[in-house]
Chains A and B, each alone.
Chain A
Amino acid sequence: DAKTTQPPSMDCAEGRAANLPCNHSTISGNEYVYWYRQIHSQGPQYIIHGLKNNETNEMASLIITEDRKSSTLILPHATLRDTAVYYCIVRFHTIGGGSNYKLTFGKGTLLTVNP
């Protein structure tokens, strides 16, 4: 799996949008971008994933650049409960074989939402 680069920490004001960047310059054609977050003392929580089109769900939006070398996770209205470590992971999706059984986590970004 390709490596990702994330800032170690970010701050955001409560109620504002939180934009978390991720660089994955060596991403290949069938590798998807996944985002997870981990709130203290809990397991990682799946947020969203995508290939090349922008994706949105009830938790967040994922914006992937046209060259797919970077992406941004957007939490539209951050709350104090969104304070967590956010992990950007690149994972290939198998086509007719192979295995992508494991997720490779980096150090992530500690997002602190301030009142």
Chain B
Amino acid sequence: KAGVTQTPRYLIKTRGQQVTLSCSPISGHRSVSWYQQTPGQGLQFLFEYFSETQRNKGNFPGRFSGRQFSNSRSEMNVSTLELGDSALYLCASSWDGHNQPQHFGDGTRLSIL
């Protein structure tokens, strides 16, 4: 069974640009969550999608947004990039987002110059 796939693996952008990251969950999983990981803050929850709806959201500014498609694939968008957005962005999927383990992809490493 294929795992969670995130593309691209690496990305370099400059301040002010926007970026879109993609996540394909494990087949059959309907919940997709996004996390940001930085050396200083560790892993922080961004948002969770289930059946094309954002179900939960963490404490991030509105520049961070996402969506989920009918096949459960998800995208995350960050607009007006700032230096502090440099991080590893991780996607995790689970069957329903509740009492099941979340399985992570290997992330997208975003660097802002």
Chain A residues with a Cβ under 8 A of chain B: 34, 36, 41-46, 49, 93-94, 99-107
Chain B residues with a Cβ under 8 A of chain A: 4, 6, 31, 33, 42-43, 45, 48, 55-56, 58, 90, 92, 97-99, 101-107
Among residues of A, the one whose C-beta sits closest to the C-beta of B58 is: A102
CB distance from B6 to the nearest CB of A (A): 8
In angstroms, Cα B6 to Cα A43, docked, is 10
In angstroms, Cα B93 to Cα A43, docked, is 12
Main secondary structure of the interface of A (DSSP, over half): loop
Are B102 and A46 closer than 8 Å at their CB atoms? Answer: yes
Are B101 and A101 closer than 8 Å at their CB atoms? Answer: no
> A-B contact count, CB below 8 Å?
54
Other A-B pairs beyond A101-B55, A103-B45, 6, CB < 8 Å: A43-B92, A46-B103, A49-B101, A99-B98, A101-B31, A102-B58
Among residues of B, the one whose C-beta sits closest to the C-beta of A34 is: B101
Are B106 and A43 closer than 8 Å at their CB atoms? Answer: yes
Q: When the two chains form the complex, which single residue of B4, B48, B101 contacts A102, counting CB atoms closer than 8 Å?
A: B48
- CB neighbours (8 Å) of A103 from chain B are 43, 45, 92, 102
Among residues of A, the one whose C-beta sits closest to the C-beta of B102 is: A103
List 10 A-B residue pairs with CB atoms under 8 Å apart, sorted by A's residue number. Answer: A43-B4, A45-B104, A49-B101, A99-B97, A101-B31, A101-B97, A101-B98, A102-B33, A103-B45, A105-B42
Are B98 and A44 closer than 8 Å at their CB atoms? Answer: no
Are B104 and A43 closer than 8 Å at their CB atoms? Answer: yes
- CB neighbours (8 Å) of A34 from chain B are 101
- CB neighbours (8 Å) of B102 from chain A are 46, 103
Are B45 and A102 closer than 8 Å at their CB atoms? Answer: yes
Are B55 and A44 closer than 8 Å at their CB atoms? Answer: no
- CB neighbours (8 Å) of B107 from chain A are 42-43
